[in-house]
């Protein structure tokens, strides 16, 4: 017989329990009761059914879904006996919600929490580019959602580059793959104009990955505008509420992301007509404006022009009068010139007359003015004669 101490015996039992009940092979399903969180780190609750009850323990960082009493869950963990208390419990590592009731409760609780944090706020949602060049598509490559999206994109516009970021869209691995896809996208955000997260329809349990907190926060934190299209109409997933744009189906997502070729051509035709009509109207309006300005200038200038015309007429009359007076004065001047020419002594000298002056230059008019021996000067038409009176 082997004898253990109490602590050794508990350790032996724990090792035996782990060996008997592997972590990923067995799960316990039941209803949550006495749920509480201590120090924002430790989570305690009971898992029960009609006939039994098990104590459960886990950490807050392992708790990925909101819980409350009455919710039905499936818990994966390992059994353990605590040395100090000798109490048996299950250390939970992963929880799955079971049943539509539990899923709806968790959905409403998480929705309320994220809404209070502003993840669904309308004012933070971004507009999509009108003509994207490159799209990141997060979906399953084997799903009909992928082929539907690509087909509509090519039919409506074409020439758009679509990069598939393949993920599973259902099951335990879905949340991790979707969040990693967004992490990769944020590191390459400059390469893409828009991101589309999509899958086809399904039950609330099938769509659980798109109602997880991790997925909602990944969509919210995307550096690229996100269109989320989950193929169901009854409920709106938390991922769709966190996205910038919600589409009803993968095909509708493609319609929201790229414009219709026919619509764009129609818009261009309409814009061309609007531009032509606008130019025609503007030219007509400018013509009327110019005509009104010319009329205004004509009206404004008519009075000054008439006064200027009258002034020029008056100036012309005064000028003509001045010319007439000048001509009269010129005739008088001409007559005086003729008179002066006739009275000019030098004209008489040319006829043989002379002018006699004494030594002082005075004109001698009488022989009584001189005596014998006086010097005189006789001025002729050409030259002078110096003489002496005998």
At residue 21 the predicted structure's pLDDT band, cuts being 50, 70 and 90, is low
pLDDT tens for 71-128 read 888 888 888 888 788 888 888 888 888 877 777 888 888 899 999 999 999 999 999 9
At residue 24 the predicted structure's pLDDT band, cuts being 50, 70 and 90, is low
Torsion of CA 237, 240, 246, 251, to 10 degrees: -70
Q: What does the pLDDT read at residue 246? A: 93
Spatial CA neighbour of 225 closest among 257, 272, 260: 257
Q: What does the pLDDT read at residue 217? A: 94
Q: Indicate the SS3 state at residue 240.
A: helix
Q: What does the pLDDT read at residue 239? A: 93
Q: Which residue has the tokens 């002729």?
A: 380
Residues 6+ apart with CB under 8 A from 135: 153, 160, 161, 162, 163, 192, 193, 194, 195, 196, 257
Average pLDDT of the chain?
86
Average pLDDT over residues 315-338: 86
Q: Where would I find the H helices in the chain?
A: 6-20, 99-117, 144-156, 174-187, 213-220, 238-242, 250-257, 261-343, 345-349
Q: What is the DSSP string of 272-329?
A: HHHHHHHHHHHHHHHHHHHHHHHHHHHHHHHHHHHHHHHHHHHHHHHHHHHHHHHHHH
Asked if the model's pLDDT at residue 350 lies above 80, the reply is no
As a whole-number percent, the residues of the chain with pLDDT over 70 amount to 96
Spatial CA neighbour of 128 closest among 226, 267, 8: 226
Q: What does the pLDDT read at residue 23? A: 60
Asked if the model's pLDDT at residue 233 lies above 80, the reply is no
The CA distance from 149 to 128, in Å, is 17
Asked if the model's pLDDT at residue 374 lies above 90, the reply is no
Q: What does the pLDDT read at residue 180? A: 96
pLDDT tens for 27-58 read 888 888 898 988 888 998 998 888 888 889 98
Asked if the model's pLDDT at residue 138 lies above 90, the reply is yes
Average pLDDT over residues 301-310: 80
Asked if the model's pLDDT at residue 236 lies above 70, the reply is yes
At residue 22 the predicted structure's pLDDT band, cuts being 50, 70 and 90, is low
Q: What does the pLDDT read at residue 234? A: 65
């Amino acid at each position: 017989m082997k004898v253990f101490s109490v602590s050794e015996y508990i350790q032996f039992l724990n090792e035996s329990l782990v060996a008997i009940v592997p972590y990923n092979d067995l799960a316990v399903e039941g209803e949550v009761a006495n749920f509480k969180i201590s120090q924002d780190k430790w989570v305690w609750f009971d898992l029960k059914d009609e006939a039994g009850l098990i104590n459960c323990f886990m950490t807050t960082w392992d708790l990925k879904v909101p819980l409350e009493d009455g919710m039905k869950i499936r818990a994966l963990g390992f059994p353990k006996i605590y040395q100090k208390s000798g109490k048996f419990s299950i250390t939970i590592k992963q929880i799955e919600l079971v049943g539509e009731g539990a899923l709806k409760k968790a959905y409403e609780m998480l929705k309320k929490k994220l809404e209070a944090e502003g993840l669904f706020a309308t004012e933070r949602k971004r507009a999509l580019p009108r003509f994207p060049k490159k799209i990141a598509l997060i979906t399953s490559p084997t799903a009909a959602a992928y082929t539907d999206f690509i087909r509509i994109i090519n039919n409506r516009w074409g020439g758009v580059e679509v990069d598939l970021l393949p993920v599973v869209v259902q099951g335990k691995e879905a949340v991790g793959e979707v969040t990693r896809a967004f992490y990769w996208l944020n590191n390459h955000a400059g390469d893409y104009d828009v991101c589309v997260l999509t899958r086809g329809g399904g039950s609330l349990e099938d769509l659980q990955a798109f109602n997880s907190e991790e997925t909602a926060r990944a969509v919210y934190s995307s550096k690229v505008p996100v269109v989320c299209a989950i193929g169901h109409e009854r409920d709106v997933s938390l991922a769709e509420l966190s996205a910038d744009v919600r589409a009803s189906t993968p095909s509708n997502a493609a319609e929201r992301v790229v414009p219709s070729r026919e619509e764009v051509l129609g818009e261009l035709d309409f814009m061309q007509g609007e531009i032509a009509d606008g130019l025609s109207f503007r030219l007509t309006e400018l013509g009327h404006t110019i005509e009104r300005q010319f009329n205004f200038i004509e009206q404004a200038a008519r009075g000054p022009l008439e006064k200027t015309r009258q002034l020029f007429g008056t100036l012309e009359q005064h000028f003509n009068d001045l010319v007439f007076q000048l001509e009269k004065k010129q005739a008088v001047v001409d007559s005086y010139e003729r008179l002066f020419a006739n009275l000019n002594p030098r004209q008489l000298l040319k006829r043989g007359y002379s002018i006699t002056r004494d030594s002082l230059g005075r004109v001698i008019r009488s022989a009584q003015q001189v005596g014998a021996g006086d010097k005189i000067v006789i001025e002729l038409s050409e030259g002078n004669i110096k003489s002496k009176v005998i």
